[in-house]
Amino acid sequence: MAERDIIWLSKGKPKTLTYKGIEYRSGISKSQADQLEVTYERIIDDDVENHDYHGGKERALCIYPYEHYTVWENLYHQPLPKAAFGENLTVIGMKEEDICVGDIFKIGTAVVQVSQGRFPCATINKHTHINTLLSKIIEYGYTGYFFRVIEEGTINRDSTITQIEQHPKQISIADIHHTFFHDKNPELIEEILSVNELSLEWKIRLEKLYQQLKKYRHF
């Protein structure tokens, strides 16, 4: 596994943005920061616009792998802004296939746990002005993911990232994404649902999919 490192720290409050001449409100546009003050609920001076679908204890800290930026920039032949996906931490060496729900890390003085993958939405298209980016994120599984906070603390630009516990089931963010969006394998869904540390939001989504599959496949 590649060495883990922080590339950018980012935070920001919701603001009015424009897409194709139409205004919308979102917290996706972040500014670069030298330090993040991490609480159980959120990062200080960082917020989301729609609290029904974003933010909260299960999504206190948003992470996006830096390696994906090269993929997107090569695919679309254009540079992306820093923190283009609204993430708080842009990191290297922590791609979705390497990160499992329930894994615990110490970043700076904060202790955090992987809670879920990101469920991407069309705001990503609006923010980057790339109309097909959302569909490609779903195709590739390059979603990023969230941490819940176990111990509040401070993360600096030069803070180290140390994994202090690996979840025994080792079900990765990539496993969950591809099961939900592509494979739709009932046995895999059952295995994922057995991970207690998975966020309630994703448990509900997967249980709903499981029941739909059960109804139509009669397993």
Looking up residue 105, the CATH number of its domain turns out to be 2.40.33.20
102 pLDDT band (50/70/90 cuts)? very high
* pTM for this prediction: 0.93
In this predicted structure, what is the pLDDT of residue 121? Answer: 84
CB 64 within 8 A of CB 85: yes
For the stretch 159-188, pLDDT in tens is 999 999 999 999 999 999 999 999 999 999
The number of CA neighbours under 13 Å toward the Cβ of 206 is: 27
- Residue 24 belongs to what domain range? 5-167
Q: 59 phi and psi, to 5 degrees?
A: -135, 45
Which two three-digit tokens encode residue 70? 């090269």
Give just the sign of the alpha carbon dihedral 181, 92, 193, 48. Answer: negative
Residue closest to 105 by CA, chosen among 1, 4, 208, 185: 4
- pLDDT of 50 reads 57
Copy the structure tokens of residue 17: 């943005």
Per residue in 20-77, pLDDT (tens digit) is 888 777 677 799 999 999 999 989 987 665 555 555 789 999 999 999 999 999 999 9
180 found inside a domain: no
Tell me if 179 is assigned to some domain.
no
Map residue 202 onto helix, strand or coil: helix
Average pLDDT over the chain, rounded to an integer: 91
Question: Does residue 177 lie in a domain region?
Answer: no
